[in-house]
Amino acid sequence: MTIAMPDDFHVHLRDGVMLEGIVSHTAASFARAIVMPNLKPPIATTEEARLYRDRILAVAPGFTPLMTLYLTDRTVPDEVNRAKDSGFIHGIKLYPSGATTNSESGVHDLEKLYPVLARMEQMDLPLLVHGEVTDTSVDVFDREKVFLDRHLKQLPRTFPGLRIVFEHITTREAASFVMQSPKNVAATITPHHLLLNRNSMFRGGIRPHNYCLPVLKREEDRVALLDAATSGNQKFFAGTDSAPHERSTKENSCGCAGIYNAHAAVELYAEAFEEVGKLDRLESFLSHHGADFYKLPRNKSTIRLAKKTQTVPDYYDFGGQKVVPMRAGETISWSIERDS
Ligand code: DOR
Ligand code: ZN
């Protein structure tokens, strides 16, 4: 199967010694990627994004990182203009403070940032949302649904012109909210949320490498996400949320959230689409819908996918840091054919 080169509209590339190995995986299958800003410290200004982008380009010439800024309580409206004017920043990411990995600098009270969102609406810079409440009285499996009711539903009404990406959706409710919203509200879906349900975290014992946030949900949610992704609806597109963590920080009494899938994300999406007999919709999900939503040209280059089994290594070594990938030690039924 030959398809236009995909883009990844949500990825964590990290920094430092890990960066080169991680970007090389993403760049092998994706022409461009929306790069998450949750470094420590976060990428909160246009200048920080420019330097991070340079570090990425230094190890991956030819790949196009689409940079984002991290919305903090201190973000000012004029930063939106600087970001938009840079030409290389394509969105601003909202992390509710404490919701996930490196979200400590995130937002405490979204309403206080409405002037920033108004400027984003005016400048046509998308808002990318990690949609989970952090209220510890809310069950961890309900945090996305509650965020949707408490916060997200208001946003398109308050800012009707703002483009909003509901990132890595995990529930039936989120998928149907996006379907019913105006066309400037879209969502990314990860390969792991299409292929796994929450049982996979407990198969024969605790499986830390299947722990991510938002946490995997029920089978009925997985089926609803698969329906949405394969529906042909332009509001849904690929965002892998590939999130590498060094092995010892996952295999730990307080293991980090994040699933690493950049080594084979396209192949994993192919498996998911094949499961429901919708391979004919794979290209638009991977290569068209996201580019159109972000107002980017579609890629002209192509990649070739073959129904050929590959075995995933137990780990990858990125500059001395071991990362256990999705399906480690197991097989994936698709491969990318590379000209060598
Ligand atoms: O599982 C996750 N890992 N979810 C996120 O939102 C962040 C990410 C990370 O940076 O590790
Ligand atoms: Zn993420």
Q: Residue 23 has what pLDDT?
A: 98
Q: How far apart are the first and last CA of the chain?
A: 18
Q: Alpha carbon 259 to chain centroid distance?
A: 11
Nearest protein CA to atom 4 of ligand 1, as residue = 213
Q: Would you place residue 171 in the very low, low, confident or very high pLDDT band (cuts 50, 70, 90)?
A: very high
CA of 307 to the centre of ligand 1 (A): 30
In a mutational test of the pocket of ligand 1, which residue from 8, 12, 94 has the highest number of ligand atoms less than 8 Å from its CB?
A: 12
Ligand 1 centroid to 195 CA: how many Å?
18
- pLDDT tens, position by position, 255-289: 999 999 999 999 999 999 999 999 999 999 999 99
**43 Rama class: left (phi>0) / alpha (psi -120 to 50) / beta:** beta
Question: In this structure, which long-range contacts are made by residues 156-163, counting pairs with CB atoms below 8 Å and at least 24 apart in sequence?
Answer: 156/181, 156/182, 156/184, 156/185, 158/114, 158/117, 159/117, 159/118, 159/120, 159/121, 160/184, 161/121, 161/122, 161/124, 162/117, 162/120, 162/121, 162/126, 162/127, 163/124, 163/125, 163/126, 163/127, 163/293
Catalytic residue at 339?
no
Q: Which of 73, 85, 241, 314 is catalytic?
A: 241
pLDDT of residue 124: 98
Residue 340, pLDDT > 70, answer: no
* Residues contacting residue 189 through CB under 8 Å, at least 6 positions apart: 168, 169, 225, 228, 229, 236, 237, 238, 239
Among the bound ligands, name the one nearest to the CA of residue 244: 1
What is the tens place of the pLDDT at every residue in 122-137? 999 999 999 999 999 9
Quick one: which of 256, 242, 196 has its CA closest to 28?
242
* 51 alpha carbon – ligand 2 mean position (Å): 20
Residues with C-beta less than 6 Å from any ligand 1 atom: 12, 38, 100-101, 130, 212-213, 243, 257-258
Looking up tokens 């404490």, which residue turns up? 98
Question: How far is ligand 1, taken at its centre, from the CA of residue 101, in Å?
Answer: 5
Tens digits of residue pLDDT in 70-100: 999 999 999 999 999 999 999 999 999 998 8
Ligand nearest the Cα of residue 13 is 1
pLDDT band at residue 48 using 50, 70 and 90 as cut-offs: very high
